[in-house]
């Protein structure tokens, strides 16, 4: 009985660890790709595009129709009585396109390029979603790290208030030092409270981008332990050139692929419409059977027919001319949109590249600033304890140190966001 109690206690102790998973950014991305509504919308649009392609492909397949009839029929020949009988008949007909000067083929090509465009659009939506999750994930980690900075600020101000009270009681410092320390402690606690709410807001934003709250909101975010005073030394290397990145963008960004496929689709549509100026050649066949018990002398029991038909609309009220003109305008518009997207992709790549370079420099400079600010704070604190510095100087040094910690935390996670933005811009 005692063993069962111990086992139950161990399980109860372990349950929070099992029920509260630590989620990595890859796990969050996987969840978002499964449940995000905008990805589901793009996937449905791609399915619809495949269905339209199947419809276009049906133009080259035979069209088979069957007709069955049942009813009454009456026949009266001259100088004879009216004869009526129950009618049973069936007809089977088939039509096969032989050649239509590219009308059906153009429609099939256009539908195929539309599938390519919608597939690229889906992939771009996925790429954008991945960036959104990474952005929200690193923002949440940043807000969590800033909580620790504000906790350190509260800790330092609590220590300063305790020290100021002792110095005042000993007659070394004035009452104003105690009052200033109390004010600064309240401000530090207010900053900590704001950071706690900022982190909650960051989690809400992350869950909104995912499309749901993982594990019903009972989760923590995985993070590596970072010694921010050495943050720059642990950054991943970055040696790519902007020219290499631009070339990669033109080849791999899904949005560029989408608009390139749009141009091909519009071009194929022109060929399909232009084929309306020419005839279509079709093979037709039919077979019919009907019961003719009382009408065998006047109605055939079976008939069949096989023909090669030429269908040519010689004049459509200039409709074909207008459709061709519209299709050409649409292709020119698609070409202009393609060039616009290429230029925008280049700009986004260049901007993201510069943000990465700036981010690395920011981390490096903030790291140096943090080390210097920490050293200065320690020096001023020693001077204050020996009566060589006043409270204002001490507070300025302490605030500079806290600001530098906030700066290195912000720069560190902004750098990873800039890397995610660059991957999104180039199509990785």
Q: Are 427 and 254 in contact (CB under 8 A)?
A: yes
Give the model's pLDDT for residue 247. Answer: 94
CA 182 to chain centre: 49
pLDDT > 60? residue 14: no
Within 10 Å of residue 93's Cβ, how many Cβ atoms? 15
In three-state form (DSSP H/G/I as H, E/B as E, the rest C), the secondary structure along 145-163 is HHHHHHHHHHHHHHHHHHH
Q: Is 180 left (phi over 0), alpha (psi -120 to 50) or beta?
A: alpha
Rounded Cα gap, residues 82 and 97, in angstroms: 44
Rounded Cα gap, residues 345 and 248, in angstroms: 11
Q: What is the residue-averaged pLDDT of the chain?
A: 87
By DSSP bridging, strand 22-23 and strand 63-75 are: unpaired
**pLDDT tens-digit readout, 190-231:** 999 999 999 999 999 999 999 888 888 899 998 877 788 888
pTM of the model: 0.82
Helix (H) / strand (E) element for 74: namely strand 63-75
Q: What is the largest CA-CA distance in the chain?
A: 143
Q: Are 31 and 214 in contact (CB under 8 A)?
A: yes
Measuring CA to CA, which residue among 351, 318, 324 is closest to residue 424?
Answer: 351
Domains of the chain: 20-61+102-277+319-426 (1.20.1600.10)
**pLDDT tens-digit readout, 240-287:** 999 999 999 999 999 999 999 999 999 999 999 988 889 999 999 999
Rounded Cα gap, residues 81 and 400, in angstroms: 117
């Amino acid at each position: 009985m005692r063993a069962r109690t111990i086992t139950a206690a161990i399980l109860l102790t372990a349950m929070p660890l099992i029920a509260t998973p630590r989620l990595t950014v890859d796990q969050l991305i996987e969840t978002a790709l499964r449940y995000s509504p905008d990805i589901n919308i793009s996937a449905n649009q791609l399915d619809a595009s495949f269905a339209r392609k199947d419809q276009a492909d049906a133009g080259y397949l035979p069209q088979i129709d069957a007709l069955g009839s049942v009813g009454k029929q009456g026949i009266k020949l001259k100088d004879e009585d009216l004869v009526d009988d129950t009618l049973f008949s069936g007809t089977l007909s088939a039509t096969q396109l032989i050649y239509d000067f590219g009308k059906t083929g153009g429609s099939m090509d256009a539908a195929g390029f539309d599938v390519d465009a919608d597939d690229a659009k889906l992939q771009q939506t996925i790429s954008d979603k991945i960036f959104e999750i990474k952005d929200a994930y690193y923002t949440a980690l940043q807000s969590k790290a800033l909580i620790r900075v504000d906790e350190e600020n509260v800790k330092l101000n609590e220590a300063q208030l305790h020290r100021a009270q002792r110095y005042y009681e000993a007659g070394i410092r004035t009452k104003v030092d105690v009052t200033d320390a109390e004010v600064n402690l309240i401000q530090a606690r207010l900053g900590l409270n704001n950071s706690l709410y900022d982190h909650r807001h960051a989690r809400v934003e992350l869950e909104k981008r995912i499309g749901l709250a993982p594990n019903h909101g009972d989760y923590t975010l995985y993070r590596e332990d970072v010694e921010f005073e050495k943050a720059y030394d642990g950054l991943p290397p970055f040696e790519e050139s902007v020219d290499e990145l631009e070339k990669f963008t033109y080849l791999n960004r899904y949005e560029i692929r989408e608009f390139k496929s749009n141009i091909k689709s519009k071009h194929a549509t022109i060929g399909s419409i232009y084929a309306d100026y020419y005839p279509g050649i079709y093979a037709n066949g039919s077979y019919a059977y009907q019961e003719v018990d009382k009408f065998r002398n006047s109605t055939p029991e079976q008939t069949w027919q096989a023909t090669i038909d030429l269908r040519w609309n010689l004049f459509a009220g200039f409709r074909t001319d207008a459709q061709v003109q519209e299709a050409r305008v649409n292709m020119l518009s698609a070409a202009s949109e393609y060039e616009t997207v290429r230029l925008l992709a280049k700009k986004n790549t260049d901007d993201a590249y510069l943000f990465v370079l700036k981010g690395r420099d920011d981390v490096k400079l903030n790291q140096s600033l943090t080390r210097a600010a920490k050293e200065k704070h320690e020096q001023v604190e020693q001077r204050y304890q020996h009566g060589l510095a006043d409270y204002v100087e001490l507070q300025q040094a302490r605030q500079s140190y806290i600001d530098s910690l906030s700066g290195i935390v912000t720069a560190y996670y902004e750098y990873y966001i800039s890397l995610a933005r660059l991957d999104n811009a180039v199509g990785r």
